[in-house]
Amino acid sequence: MLINLQGYGHFQDGKNNQDFGFEEENMILIVDGCTECAYSESGGRMFAQLFKTLPEHDNPQKFEQNIKLTFDNIIKWLREWYKDKEDLENFIQDNLLFTIIGLFDMKDSFEVRAYGDGYIFSINQNNILSYMRLNYGKRPPYYAYNYCSKDIKELFKNYKMKSFTFPKKMFKNIGIATDGIQPIAKGIVSQVDKLIKNNGTKEETQNAIIEDHYLFYDDVTLGILNNGGK
């Protein structure tokens, strides 16, 4: 199940929905464009669609490699348009700053890989829901910084992709989400919790969010494997 809704705050401010994602049988990928960027939604949407075309895009072991390959190709193409380094960097900062989170359903485990901020949520064997927040303050370590000037690269040189392995013995199901689900994670919108725990349908969950839409400033994207994967 993958839900993608524009945040009420973004709707009021006239901003586009900056989140995007796609869902397959054994994987979910979501991207969350940086709110401060002018057109981060266009970069995020383009990246996700190109990533999907790669032959082993559903292999968590090749996730980082696939991200690099996609970005390399996008930047290579952009260099034809932006000959000047500064212009290219400005374009990157306007369009390509977004969080990338991937969820993979493996035989004995759920694998999560993340670049940037967002949420991972889990349902343990006691049917208890937990929200884990990947939070890096106002400047999350976006992957596109690798293509920026040395000063920016230096800031994030110690950051490495976050990898999580959730054993199926301990967890019934795992989901990923953008930071727009904060009102759900904080327990303000508790109806969604119940639906996630009880395998609620996409429509039911979406309606529960829309019911309290005014509470969600940021765009909301959440993906959870159907029926706990395989």
Partner 1 sequence: MGKFLNSIFGPKDNDVIYVPQKTVNPEDSKKEVTQNQKLEETIKSINAQKKVDDMTKKVEKEEINKESIEAPKVETKNDNIETEKKPYFFKETLHKTLTILLIEDSKEMYEFNKEIVELSKRAVGDNLAIIIHYGKEIENPGLYYPGQVDEDALICLNEKGTSLCFYDAIIHLETIVDGSVFHIVEGKTKKYEIENVEIVGFSTGIDNISKSTIKEAYEAFKKISEKTKVTNKCFCISEDNFISLASIGFHSIGRIKTNFE
List residues near partner 1 by CB under 8 A.
Answer: 120, 122, 124-126, 128-137, 139-141, 155-156, 158-159, 162, 164-166, 170-171, 185-187
Is residue 30 within 8 A of residue 93, CB to CB? The reply is no
Q: In terms of CB distance, is 12 or 190 closer to partner 1?
A: 190
Distance CA 97, CA 46 (A): 12
Q: How far is the CB of 76 from partner 1 (least distance, A)?
A: 28
How is residue 11 written in tokens? Answer: 């709707």
What gap in Å lies between CA 149 and CA 90, rounded to an integer?
Answer: 11
Q: How far is the CB of 134 from partner 1 (least distance, A)?
A: 7
Query: What minimum distance in Å lies between the beta carbon of 120 and partner 1?
Result: 7
d(CA 75, CA 27): 26
Nearer to partner 1, 48 or 114 (CB): 114
Closer Cβ to partner 1, 22 or 156, answer by number: 156
Query: With respect to partner 1, which residue has the nearer C-beta, 61 or 130?
Result: 130
Tokens for 46, please give them.
Answer: 């383009």
Angle at the Cα of 140 from the Cα atoms of 138 and 145, rounded to 5 degrees: 125
State the minimum distance, in angstroms, from the CB of residue 52 to partner 1: 26
**Smaller CB distance to partner 1: residue 75 or 132?**
132
Nearest one of 64, 6, 13 to 33, comparing CA atoms: 6
Give least dist CB 49 to partner 1, A: 28
